[in-house]
Amino acid sequence: MDTFTPPTITHTMANPDGERDPQALLGLLWLASPALPLGGFSYSEGLESAVEAGRVHDEASAAQWLLAQLHLTQARADLSVVAQALPAWRARDWTTLLTLNAWTRRTRESAELRLQSEQMGHAVLHWLQGLRPHTLPDPGLDEVPAALQPPTYPVAYAWALATLTPNTLPTAHALLAAGFAWCEAACQAAVKAVPLGQNAGQRLLAQLRAALPAAVHVALSQPPGQRQCFAPMLAILSARHETQYSRLFRS
């Protein structure tokens, strides 16, 4: 069989804001993929405990729960952190990154949520390091302060975005990828925990997809002083999950 030699692309498809750069799109698709070895599939973020408590029991209640979580914790907290951490990674702004990382740790209201953020942040770092020499993380570990090794998950995810996408990529596009990755993982957790069928899971994902642009808008427009992660029932159920008798997901 003859060997195939791919054609050499000698022109660029990128415009000034990066919207037509194929590598930008491929980087976003990669980072939104559920196949990434980050361990998010092993956490339910309080959903399994909500099922145990009877708060989530069917497709409609699962949609209500996940939409509330998208707007209350993702838009106002994690996506907002990613929005501010992405330009900070590009600028090597260690002061901002350390502040965002400390805020993320401080606002995880249960041991389970904090452990998830720490372990998934470590997984992002390990994954990026494993891409060498094909994709060398920039900045390298020797430049990063020890307090950011490893960073919490939203700060680490912003590092991955800074590594795998061009600097011209609009931050809103980066947040859509980050948000969709969360939406897909949350829907799969609901399929397993409620439980629901795969078609019901896709209907959930459709509702979250429709709501995601508004969540991204909130994350982008939120000043640092207004960023918050106040979801007391989520914190209570996450804490209860740590001692739940029967569990599918990690605690």
For residue 4, tell me if it sits in a domain: no
What DSSP designation does 37 have?
A: S
Q: Which residues of the chain have pLDDT under 70?
A: 1-20, 40, 133-139, 244-251
Residue among 35, 151, 53 nearest 101 (CA) = 151
Domain harbouring 122, CATH code: 1.10.4190.10
Show the domain range for 167: 48-239
> The dihedral of CA 67, 60, 245, 39: what is its sign?
negative
Task: Give me the pLDDT at residue 6, please.
Answer: 34
For residue 163, tell me if it sits in a domain: yes
Task: Give me the pLDDT at residue 216, please.
Answer: 98
For residue 113, tell me if it sits in a domain: yes
Task: Give me the pLDDT at residue 138, please.
Answer: 59
For residue 22, tell me if it sits in a domain: no
Number of neighbours of residue 157 by Cβ within 10 angstroms: 27
Task: Give me the pLDDT at residue 134, please.
Answer: 63
Task: Give me the pLDDT at residue 142, please.
Answer: 76
Buried b or exposed e, range 158-188, using 16+ CB within 10 angstroms: bbbbbbbbeeebebebbbbbbbbbbbbbbbb
Task: Give me the pLDDT at residue 2, please.
Answer: 39
For residue 34, tell me if it sits in a domain: no
Task: Give me the pLDDT at residue 79, please.
Answer: 98
